[in-house]
A and B are shown apart, each in its own frame.
Chain A
Amino acid sequence: MIRGVAGSPWASPRPPCGKDHNTVAVFIIRRLLQSVVLVLVMSLLVFLGVYAIGNPADILIAPDATEAERVEVIHHFGLDQPLYAQYGKFFANAVQGDLGRSFKFNESALKLIAERIPATLELAFASLFLTIFLGIPLGLYSGFKPNSISSKLIMGFSAFGFSVPAFWLGLMMVMVFAVFLGWLPASGRGQTVNLFGVPVSFLTWDGIRHMILPAFNLACFKLSLIIRLTRAGTQEVIRSDYVKYAKAKGLRPARIILVHVLKNTLIPIITVLGMEFGRTIAFATVTETIFAWPGMGKLIIDSISILDRPIIVAYLMIIVVMFIFINLIVDVIYSALDPRVRLEERR
């Protein structure tokens, strides 16, 4: 939705969407149908991609197995069936919630991943928290006072965090804060507490200590992006006619900032945050690897290196579904916030 090449989303008002017969419900149903089709297509692509190339059975068979044992293993896992039959079986199982069994652990792939989702999500939300409550204020400040020294420092850091590969930043963080200064732990999740049956880290100080570095590392790119976007948006909005008009109405500066500037600046930013959240979950693979955080990402990397295909397929499917779902939610939120895009017209 945010187009990089076209004009700025803050500049001109979009034309109102005037289809009277479109309600929000129709919009959501339409998108859901599109999403289902997309998921089906992706499942096919993923399955083909992962199973069709190479020999999936290699991981299962000891190198010194006899031919008979080899054949038996292949048959046992159904890997001698034609591909479309394999896919059919996979699909039938998937609809019932069974996404295959890990070759390595011999447990349900879905269960293995599901166990680790909370850890990844917690990290992702922590980084989102940092981005919102650190990034937006810094960006606002930098937009209001663009020529101050602190503002230039902020922009410098954000340029850095934006272009430098995140894994290197993670390594540097480990080096500086864990090895040289010894302030924070370098890896692991620390103490967890069960909240509604789900283990979480943020309720204990030890858990938080373990979360700080990886959360910052994960947030780096997003933080830089949001700071820059917020700053650009703020600068553009405070020059706009409606802010000038708000001043001409004699409104107090606090009200102008909090109501007029903030709302207009934030609308495109929220969309970006939503989109980035999906990417964050994918990018957690790197952070979890560096900090040995026991989440989905680490599992997938390990699985890739040993070619545990059921897990790879299950992971990709889950990620795809998550993505599509997040995109849908973001679109709905955006149309709720920006009345010009709203597809519901009550007369």
Chain B
Amino acid sequence: MRKDAISGKGALARFRERPLGKAIAEYCESVSAVMAFFVVLIFVVAALFASLIAPQNPYDLAKLDLLDGTLEPLSKSFSGSVYLLGTDEQGRDMLSAILYGLRISLSVGVISTIVAFVFGTSLGLIAAYKGGRFESILMRIVDLQLSFPALLIALVLLVVLGQGVDKITLALVIVHWAYFARAARGSAMAERNREYIEAARALRLGDLRIIFRHLMPNVMPSIIVIATTMVARAISTEATLSFLGIGLPITEPSLGLLISNGFRYLLSGKYWISFYPGIALVVVIVALNMMGDRLRDVLNPRLKR
């Protein structure tokens, strides 16, 4: 047990006692959750610095050599360097392709989630606070949208909007805002009748101010849990759509597109063109989900209090 010395508690001990510090400390009690966090961190860093790390720029057509096409992992290229994960049919180094693809997958997933988060949470909070017709109409729309499968909605949206990074991000935002709205409204409903909200109202503070400075911080924990899993879901959905051929165009290949590209070679045994991008995708998604699970365990008992 920690020694609580009367004097001289270190800065770390003091940090641990603040709510944020407590949450982080509790999160770290699970080894797998910490590992998941580091995995995600590594992937994010790799994606950010893809252009620096990748042995080859896979989209520089000049550098590609068809003679290097569909080489197995760990085979040598004509110029002598080793292709760690093999090459695709055009001679692209898989490792580089994966790094660049990771960049696109992650950015689409994260950005769409952030926008959906802002948009959906705000609407949900406002609905919970205002109540009345606004709330019931909004919730009807949310329920209606959520009763249809996300994939179907995304499908329809992409038919209408067409292909492109911005369009798929928009589609993902439209699909996912409803989850945030429902969660935010649900949590806020529990809080809106509490005394501190009444007190703020009595002080005649503006509505927006009450919602965002007082209501929102108490609703945050559960929304953050959802946000983490939503990022994983966004990445997964985008990959599925790209795999089906209606997601990103070939000029901006995400991991899903790489997998789709390699599919036809799978049946002839050249598995690595699909397999390694798939592994990268799955590892990121599973790690994010593990983080989300752990966050939920950490933050939920707090909510029940």
Contacts and interface: CB of A to CB of B under 8 A. Distances in A.
**Chains A and B in contact, CB within 8 Å:** yes
Interface of A: 3, 5-6, 46, 49-50, 53-54, 159-160, 163-168, 171-172, 174-175, 178-179, 186, 275, 278-279, 282-283, 285-286, 289-290, 300-301, 304-305, 307, 312, 316, 319, 323, 327
B256 to A, nearest CB: 8
Contacts of B155: 285, 300, 304
A312 B160 CA distance: 11
A174 B267 contact: yes
Given A179-B271, A304-B159, A164 B148 contact: no
B162 interface: yes
B186 A6 contact: yes
Given A5-B187, A327-B147, A168 B281 contact: yes
Nearest to A324: B147
B246 A301 contact: yes
A172 B289 contact: no
B149 A305 contact: no
A300 B278 CA distance: 25
Contact of A323 (B147, B151, B182, B236): B147
Interface string B130-173: 00000000000000000111011001101111100000000000
Contacts of B263: 171, 290
Given A5-B187, A278-B149, A286-B151, 10 more contacts: A49-B156, A49-B160, A54-B162, A168-B239, A168-B282, A171-B263, A171-B266, A175-B275, A179-B267, A289-B243
B289 A282 contact: no
22 contacts: A3-B186, A5-B183, A6-B186, A53-B162, A160-B286, A163-B232, A164-B282, A165-B282, A166-B240, A167-B244, A168-B239, A171-B263, A172-B278, A174-B266, A175-B274, A175-B275, A179-B266, A179-B267, A282-B148, A286-B240, A289-B243, A304-B246
Which 3 A-B pairs give the minimum distances between C-beta atoms?
A: A5-B186, A279-B149, A163-B289
Contacts of A312: 159
Contact of A179 (B156, B222, B269, B278): B269
Nearest to A172: B278
A90 to B, nearest CB: 17
Nearest to B246: A304
Contacts, number: 98
A214 to B, nearest CB: 15
Given A165-B285, A316-B156, A305 B267 contact: no
B282 A286 contact: no
Contacts of B149: 278-279, 282-283
A289 B244 contact: yes
Contacts of A3: 186
Contact of B148 (A167, A286, A323): A323
Where chain A touches its partner, the secondary structure class is: helix
Contacts of B152: 282, 319
A164 B286 contact: yes
Nearest to A54: B162
A150 to B, nearest CB: 20
A46 B156 contact: yes
A178 B222 CA distance: 43
B240 A165 contact: yes
Contacts of A54: 162
Contacts of B159: 49-50, 304, 307, 312
B278 A168 contact: yes
A273 B57 CA distance: 47
Interface in B263-288: 263, 266-267, 269, 271, 274-275, 278, 281-282, 285-286
A304 B182 CA distance: 31
From B156, B187, B274, name the one whose CB has the most chain A CB atoms within 10 angstroms: B156
Contact of B278 (A163, A171, A279, A319): A171
B242 to A, nearest CB: 10
B169 to A, nearest CB: 18
Contacts of B110: none
Interface string B26-66: 00000000000000000000000000000000000000000
